[in-house]
Amino acid sequence: MIEVSELTKRYGRSAAVDGLSFRARPGTVTGFLGPNGAGKSTTMRVLLGLDAPTSGRALVNGRRYRELRRPMREVGALLDANAAHGGRSALDHLRWMARGNRIPGTRVTEVLEQVGLAGVARKRVGGFSLGMRQRLGIAGALLGDPGVLLFDEPVNGLDPDGVRWIRELMRSLAAEGRTVLISSHLMSEMALTADRLVIIGRGRLIADTSVSELAERFRRGVLVRSPRAPELAAALAAAGAEVDAGPGGELSVHGLEVAGIGDLAAARGIPLHEVTPRSASLEEAYMELTAGSVQYRAGGDAA
């Protein structure tokens, strides 16, 4: 379990994180979303004890990081894919991590297998592609077999195969009952990977929601086509719906759901050729939610 409550982190006069509260629960992939500079990495750094909060709390399993008895066995993290020393082999890097944390060497072999690097374990990390370095970083996060995992932008720069691999890994880690927090600025990716979405902007919480709740919130009425559209429009309006007729004769209906529209048409013997609930895409929803908190725009204007 991850619990962030009233967390504020200031750098000088500006707040990177500003009164942020949310939870990430076991068995769940929580997508941590926000535009560049929203405060995602800062929150993760505080959770991992790499930065001290100005105020508020960021707890892993009910404790601050430095109060954890065996941190690597409780929480694993991928913050920076380039953290491993380029001159070392993947095997040496993980062995070094394992030794420092009293983790048995056999675990190194296991995680190398799990991330698909067993075949290149003795190669120097300096020659690794970005995707291989991400895998190595993930192997490091998994080394202590922790119940809580934090991944900061793990799909950045990966090809579609790598992206899919990460998505499936995150899902399987959550299915094992682990708490998985994964940051991204891409809604499209999170919509496929995450159960819950914590969306932040300028250090503040914008939404704490499930993917389906977010889609529901951005519903845009029901699109209806019928060869007897004017008659149907009148009947829907009489039933209290708000109806707009489009240029092609299609109706945009608000205030009545698909079932209600179908029942009403059936009762009057009006044929329906299409009844489609419409919602803004999740990407549009995300853009709308974060519109006020984008720090930098193309052209360099501060928002």
Ligand X SMILES: Nc1ncnc2c1ncn2[C@@H]1O[C@H](COP(=O)(O)OP(=O)(O)OP(=O)(O)O)[C@@H](O)[C@H]1O
Residues that bind ligand X in the complex, under the rule CB under 6 A: 11, 16, 34, 36-42, 185
Q: How far is the CB of 131 from ligand X (least distance, A)?
A: 19
Distance, in Å, from the CA atom of 94 to the CA atom of 51, rounded to the nearest integer, reads 24
Question: Which residue's beta carbon is nearest to the bound ligand X?
Answer: 16
Q: How far is the CB of 260 from ligand X (least distance, A)?
A: 42
Nearer to ligand X, 45 or 133 (CB): 45
Nearer to ligand X, 186 or 258 (CB): 186
Q: How far is the CB of 15 from ligand X (least distance, A)?
A: 8
Nearer to ligand X, 36 or 106 (CB): 36
CB atoms within 10 A of CB 247: 5
Q: How far is the CB of 202 from ligand X (least distance, A)?
A: 8
DSSP annotation string for the chain: -EEEEEEEEEETTEEEEEEEEEEE-TTEEEEEE-STTSSHHHHHHHHTTSS--SEEEEEETTB-GGG-SSHHHHEEEE--TT-S-TTSBHHHHHHHHHHHTT--THHHHHHHHHTT-GGGTTSBGGG--HHHHHHHHHHHHHTT--SEEEEESTTTT--HHHHHHHHHHHHHHHHTT-EEEEEES-HHHHHHH-SEEEEEETTEEEEEEEHHHHHHHTEEEEEEE-TTHHHHHHHHHHTT-EEEE-TTS-EEEESS-HHHHHHHHHHHT---SEEEEEE--HHHHHHHHHGGG--B-TTS-B-
Q: How far is the CB of 302 from ligand X (least distance, A)?
A: 11
Q: How far is the CB of 182 from ligand X (least distance, A)?
A: 12
Nearer to ligand X, 50 or 234 (CB): 50
Q: How far is the CB of 295 from ligand X (least distance, A)?
A: 6
Nearer to ligand X, 3 or 152 (CB): 152
**Using an 8 Å Cβ cutoff, are 193 and 27 in contact?**
no
Nearer to ligand X, 107 or 185 (CB): 185
Nearer to ligand X, 21 or 109 (CB): 21
